[in-house]
Structure 1
């Protein structure tokens, strides 16, 4: 009986820890003394010679080669700002160009994107990480790894080619659990040279929780209204900038899921009345046709204020909370690409996910995954304990191979994040074709700030920057 009581008490304690961790999107582990004074993320957890020692190429020198690509220039100024929400309330926020989300940046596939980030008055320093974008190491926006944080009065210019069309977003990666939560986020849309799907209207929406208090859709409280007329084909790009999984429903029309994490699906099926689980940092694009009479509504099952409606007329009946859950592993049409679970991989890694740890370790105590340019890498994620973990890999697109030992049977899924619930086991694969030093972390940013953050390091790549309290570079 005593042993059973102790077990129950321990389970209750772990549950409380999990609830606190889930709610701690603002509270960075760095502030609680978990980070060292200084650490070189190119060398930690491995012998110096394994990562190329001092003879390697510096991440800072891996830049975009000159080209004659069309240039799109932007300036984003980070600042502490008092904003007025559409319900009349004034709140303190950290913004890009005075708003949260910041400006939507729209470019074309193949454009050379040049963005100057200026820091007006955010004392902790800022950066911009281009979430999901495959770009040179030096442009990834991770303080202490790819650059120094941008301090008040300073600036940094990012430059990369928008090679992959799709739905992306940007956010500060300096103490991102705090800074993204305070409002330093925005959308990046890369329009394709040639459309795969036809649509009349193209909308992008950002779901966020500002200051851990205000539930916003494109910066608006209590929902958002978008214009569409009967018969319009609507592409809706849903970006989850919140830490929590958003179960999104489409009411009033049949729809297709046409893209995940910015990557088009092959032969997407027409479906109806299904809940789509969108993890922190993930993006889902849906396509539907407006009905002749009535509205289409898209909303969160758990947070009713995260909603939007399109069109006029009568509102559709809401989805039953027990409606079917969308399953990407069987959705769409298969297409051979030569990347299979049983192909030869150069290296295979196991990552076991706990409450706030990976393989039982946290932060820089987690050994990096070492890769070499040209190799094929397989990672097996095994979620053993805790809440949902949307695991995000910087600098690469990967293919999802299997779920719980079963190969996917629908469209190939290429992504930069994989959402795992407790008990899930996924295998993913990627080609090591982008030399650099890349973060792999949970995009529930409260989890990342409290331990679930590690590195994927290429052999021979170094960095002149340092993470830690001495430099003030504190990425999570």
Structure 2
């Protein structure tokens, strides 16, 4: 379905598919008011945005994420507890915001482990009246430890997640809930955190530091609450009014000039695409979702779709402010109110006139990546949208190969250890970032308007953006048996049907 079809029908709103949730009437949904053209930059009706003068503070020192305490005294064992629970945050002066947090905070505590470690984490769900899970996004864990929607943890219950981190698994992973029908809300209300698996021997000089930047976005009403999602949110994915870094708006970092700083960037938003650049500071990509590249790659700007991660080394070669800011990116938008995403300053690095101590150069080789062999199975997945209209309401779904997600249906059967070629064809009206559980894959090529382009570098990925009108081809191999999910990581689209199950058999 083409975008002009939606606009011609006057669509600025959309209803959830009956297969995903109960039918909702337009006049009962927040932000509707019986007319089109809801402004995504403002809070829904009945929940006015923060008044002028109550803006979120900027320029505070960048906070480091609090480290999750290891309760074990045994080397090679990480034993800890994570609790999902209601909490209070203060984003604006004097205004309390009810959130959901892990161990009372958002982003959740930073989990650090080393490849080869054993991980045992007890999860307690203290969210009232709602199931949850912890999905270890991108991590090589067994299917029964993956936190997928078929394995919910009921409100008031606990369960233990236990797994081993194999050699070679170092990478910038993260964790978030994955209960079907509730994932989007639990994430935008605060449930997300970083799980950093470090190598036993890191080729990146320790003098570069290791700075984690977690991007989330926030929408606040005048009373400090987070308004419920609107129809426009369901259609496009929820995009907040403020982009936060480690829970702060435009925090500041001070470094001496000549500094080389390692950054790990996480897009933990529901639906926001971040095309980023550092003003006046050269960037070098050193890693992606699944860890380090083989060799560094210089970049003028980068694109992080929802759930993607990148590792950078940034060189601060002259005194003065250097800002991390957003560039324009049109990922497709249905209806009115496309957010103004260009020119947002996310982080300000104040480079002093004091010179840094000399540091070692970035190695020319970071690690070896084995390229996957020729596939024995080819699969094709087509992304589309569907919309039906009644006399008083509308219903919409986001589909893979013409079908909406059904928890009781296995969509494909794969064999553990077998290399597959997946061709992802996006015939929808907006970009869709594909995430595959249980493995990392290699992007081979992209095709758009008859033009084929090879991947610019070999990398391990678990999430890849598929632009509207684009076909992405990737190679993957599932190693661990059991059911795995594949889905769009615009969380509202996943919830409205754009998800499937692959049953990996031994």
Query: TM-score when scaled to structure 1?
Result: 0.75
- Aligned: 1:427 with 2:460: no
Label 1:8 to 1:352 Cα distance change in 2 as closer, same or farther (>3 A).
closer
2:372 counterpart residue number: 339
Choose between structure 1 and 2: higher helix proportion. Answer: 1
1:413 counterpart residue number: 459
* Distance apart, 1:339 and its partner CA: 2.6
- Aligned: 1:171 with 2:179: no
Is residue 290–residue 311 contact of structure 1 (8 Å, CA) maintained in 2?
Answer: no
Choose between structure 1 and 2: higher strand proportion. Answer: 2
* Distance apart, 1:248 and its partner CA: 1.3
User: What CA deviation, in whole Å up to 9, does each residue of 1:310-349 have, x standing for no partner?
Assistant: 23459xxxxxxxxxxxxxxxxx999883535xx2x22211
Aligned to 2:400, the other structure's residue is in SS state coil
* Distance apart, 1:150 and its partner CA: 3.4
2:21 to 14, 17, 31: 31
2:11 to 16, 24, 27: 16
Higher RCO by CA contacts (8 Å cutoff, separation 6 or greater): 1
- Aligned: 1:267 with 2:295: yes
Runs of 5+ consecutive residues of structure 1 not aligned to the other structure:
1-6, 35-67, 315-331, 461-476
- Aligned: 1:441 with 2:494: no
User: What CA deviation, in whole Å up to 9, does each residue of 1:371-413 have, x standing for no partner?
Assistant: 0122111110011122110000000011111211746364212
Cα distance in 2, alignment partners of residues 425 and 386 from structure 1? 14
Label 1:8 to 1:122 Cα distance change in 2 as closer, same or farther (>3 A).
closer
* Distance apart, 1:85 and its partner CA: 1.6
Is residue 293–residue 459 contact of structure 2 (8 Å, CA) maintained in 1?
Answer: yes
1:466 counterpart residue number: none
* Distance apart, 1:9 and its partner CA: 7.1
Runs of 5+ consecutive residues of structure 2 not aligned to the other structure:
25-73, 219-225, 227-237, 328-340, 354-364, 386-397
Matches within 5 A, 1:47-446: 70-85=76-91, 87-144=93-150, 147-152=151-156, 154-163=157-166, 164-174=169-179, 175-198=182-205, 199-210=207-218, 211=226, 213=240, 215-242=242-269, 243-271=271-299, 274-301=300-327, 302=341, 307-312=346-351, 337-339=370-372, 343=374, 345-355=375-385, 356-364=398-406, 368-404=411-447, 406=452, 408=454, 410-446=456-492
Cα distance in 1, alignment partners of residues 412 and 4 from structure 2? 36
Cα distance in 1, alignment partners of residues 313 and 11 from structure 2? 40
Cα distance in 2, alignment partners of residues 15 and 391 from structure 1? 29
Is residue 215–residue 306 contact of structure 1 (8 Å, CA) maintained in 2?
Answer: no
Cα distance in 1, alignment partners of residues 82 and 19 from structure 2? 27
Label 1:445 to 1:252 Cα distance change in 2 as closer, same or farther (>3 A).
same
Aligned to 2:406, the other structure's residue is in SS state helix
**What do you get for the CA RMSD once the two structures are aligned?**
3.0
* Distance apart, 1:303 and its partner CA: 6.0
Is residue 373–residue 458 contact of structure 1 (8 Å, CA) maintained in 2?
Answer: yes
Aligned to 2:255, the other structure's residue is in SS state coil
Deviates more, 1:409-418 or 1:215-224: 215-224
Label 1:73 to 1:310 Cα distance change in 2 as closer, same or farther (>3 A).
farther
User: What CA deviation, in whole Å up to 9, does each residue of 1:278-314 have, x standing for no partner?
Assistant: 1111101111122241233212231655601223459
Label 1:142 to 1:188 Cα distance change in 2 as closer, same or farther (>3 A).
same
User: What CA deviation, in whole Å up to 9, does each residue of 1:200-228 have, x standing for no partner?
Assistant: 22111111123454524244343111243
Cα distance in 2, alignment partners of residues 250 and 192 from structure 1? 27
Label 1:151 to 1:12 Cα distance change in 2 as closer, same or farther (>3 A).
same
Cα distance in 2, alignment partners of residues 8 and 281 from structure 1? 25
* Distance apart, 1:448 and its partner CA: 0.4
